[in-house]
Structure 1
Amino acid sequence: MARSLLAVAAVLGALAVVRLPGAPSTTITLGAEAMPEASLLAIERENGCLDDGAGGGAADERRSARWPEWDTNTMAGGDVPPIRVVSDPYPTLHSVAVDAQRQRVFVSDPNRHALWSYDRTAASKGSEAVRPLTGIRGPATGMMFVAAVTVDPAAQEVYTVDNDIGDRLMVFPYDASGNVRPKRVLQVPHQAWGISIDRARDEVAVSVEGPREIVVYRREAKGSDAPLRTIRGPKTGLGDPHGVFLDGANGEIVVANHGNQGGRQPTPGDQPRGRRGGPLAAGTGTFTGGRFEEPSITVYPAEARGDVAPVRRIQGPLTGLNWPMALDVDRAHDEIAVANSGDASIRVFRRKDTGNVAPVRVIKGLRRQRATWRRSACSVTRRRGLQQSASAIPAPSRTTRSAMNSSSPIESASRGSRRLPGWQTGTRSRRG
């Protein structure tokens, strides 16, 4: 019925929620003057929007209990099906992970809330689409904005992290396909983005954007299991962290930072936060004003916890870093490769680089079958001989076009693109 419709509008500083027709409207006026600090905190706490908090335990359980489920709430509306649905049938490839031993490539698709896998050597000869080997998609999967993806070849498991409002880490078997439930699910902090597994340490690291933290869990953690340790605080230099790599062989955690610093000071320390925020610790979480710092790659000891300074930091104009997304450490060649979304490039640094240093080489250019590298991600396995190039780089040796909508020692995927380019080992630029 028409009376059940709700309209929400923001006009001239007012948020109006209107029941149509014949029902009185409700207007929440947002005044021009700043609200008192106490009022802001009360609103944030009630809605679970605090960036920082020392929640957890019984207090966190009480907060979670206040969130109504659709089958128990008494508010207007409910689980009402839409009258019409307009949907985009094409995927947007976001992050990629490669199992070179089993010749499998896994790609996340936030547009269709899906996870696709392809043969590593699959290639489109023209404009035709390549059919995936598997496609995990549907309401049973629980996937929403599927951000990062990684694989555990030993267990033949693929891990995904849901960003935005998903707040979940999900694990599926390699051979899973269709509308299937995850093998296990872990509740992670709000705005989780990156993920990395280290089998030697039997741990998984997750980056969290807004709170500017890195949380480390047992590899097989599930449900509401607490992290083993957390890196968080102003000394860490974390700023909107995205890519993360837990390098157990070298005893380090490597992080790619956009540099965004929210207006509220992060709570220093190792105490887990509530999943939806929590009360502020005394003297912390004060408003300091938001700011943008230069993007960076920061490195911490693998055992780091709390408010610790990085042991190395790659940052400055020579780096060319601009919206660095996923990254990978090539232990064989002692290098770090990062997908640089801001200028559609892949930048490679020496693992022990620090300060304002230029990359040792860059993959970038407008050559044939170029991807649309917005918010791209890359995964690097064994590769050799890519010569440094200031701009133009050879076209990828093959490009996988996604169906329904891969590939080589250097793989990349991009949100907003349906292509997965790959470059062969030994590739050299024309300048080489």
Structure 2
Amino acid sequence: MPRTTIRIWIALSALLITGIVLTQIYWMRNEYELQERQFLHTVTKALHKVASRVAQPEKDSPVDVQVIAHSPADYLVNLNVPFDSQKLNLHLDSELALHQIQTPFYYGLYNTRVRQIIYQDPNQQTTDPLSESRVVKPIPSPYYFVVHFPGQVRYLTQQMDFEILLSTIVLLLTAFFVYFFYGLFRQKSRTEEQREFMSNMTHELQTPIASIRLAADILLSPKIIEQPERMRKYVRMVQEETMRLQQQVETVLTVARTEDSNGIKLHPICIDMHELLYHLAERHGDYLHLELDAQHAIIQADRMHLVNVIGNLVDNALKYTPKNPLIRLTTHNENGQLVVMVQDNGIGIAPEHQPHIFDAYYRAPGANAQSVKGFGLGLSYVQKIIKAHHWKITLHSTLGQGTSFRIRIPQHTAHAQKEIRVKSEE
């Protein structure tokens, strides 16, 4: 499927999912507001009846009831005549139950002595410090009471159980499809990366195989015996290309092993990091500079994997430094750690690609030219080995100025292994 079509599908899917989520939010909000209006209307109607039943009007005096809703949870009921406060609780309970308002409430009476509203519930009597803010000023008469529903929001939410269940099902289905499409596109991206890896691997393996075949054909020539220097040259070529093939195969197999349940099996031994770096430098030219300042450089690691890690970082630095390469290999001790740094003056890595460079098969755009060899597995291999040793690796890169990798090894390991080596020498 073309990339343009995939992007269109992604955009349409995102719009559809966003529309579904917004529709659910809009529907639930409207449903809650409807429940709130119904609650307010029902409570207002019930309080009108309560006020009419507890009112004690004088002879031929009409009863005027005013119910003021400050919010769906707070109501003030004002009368123009005295009312029987002793019967208020009974009529509130019965009338609210008759109107199917099944949520706790408090009611308050204005106390002229303390000039406060005293809230009451079936168990206790308390002064509500917020009561004054709930009362409309000025009050037309002292004959009023207030009712407060503390669990109004939860009560309304419980009335929407079925709607909430439907919305939850819809959102779960939406989340499932999002996850499904995400996995589908990720798998497609993974397939493309593996296809590119196979292309790169084919090219990388053909080069040393062709060199070995050429060298073998020349070595089979009878005249080569008469030219020992030339024969040694082609023997070295076979050895170097064989080692190159072996390293490539080990990298592929190591990455493959890390993806199964067994992971990487390490065989750690005591290693002098400085000695290892000196041996590594002998394989390279003057472009590689050593600055080994660490006072404690004895560590415990799998030697083969450690050599491959440092070698991969150096080779990677060479690949992406097209002109006048200058690679620095440095060590120092910092905050109880042994820090090994590989720094180059190459093309650098753009910020948007830096989070992905440790992904298997990933190669930054522009890195797929035939002059830049590799499978796209080198840095993935490096990170897996670092994690297997419980070390840390960090990247710092500026586009056009170069890249540096820092490997941080806990220094307590280094000290312990140094003591082990000293004891073994004694």
TM-score range, shorter chain: under 0.3
Q: Is the strand fraction higher in 1 or 2? A: 1
Structure with max Cα Rg = 2
TM-score scaled by structure 2? 0.21
Q: Which has the higher contact order (CA 8 A, sep 6+)?
A: 1
Q: Is the helix fraction higher in 1 or 2? A: 2
TM-score scaled by structure 1? 0.20
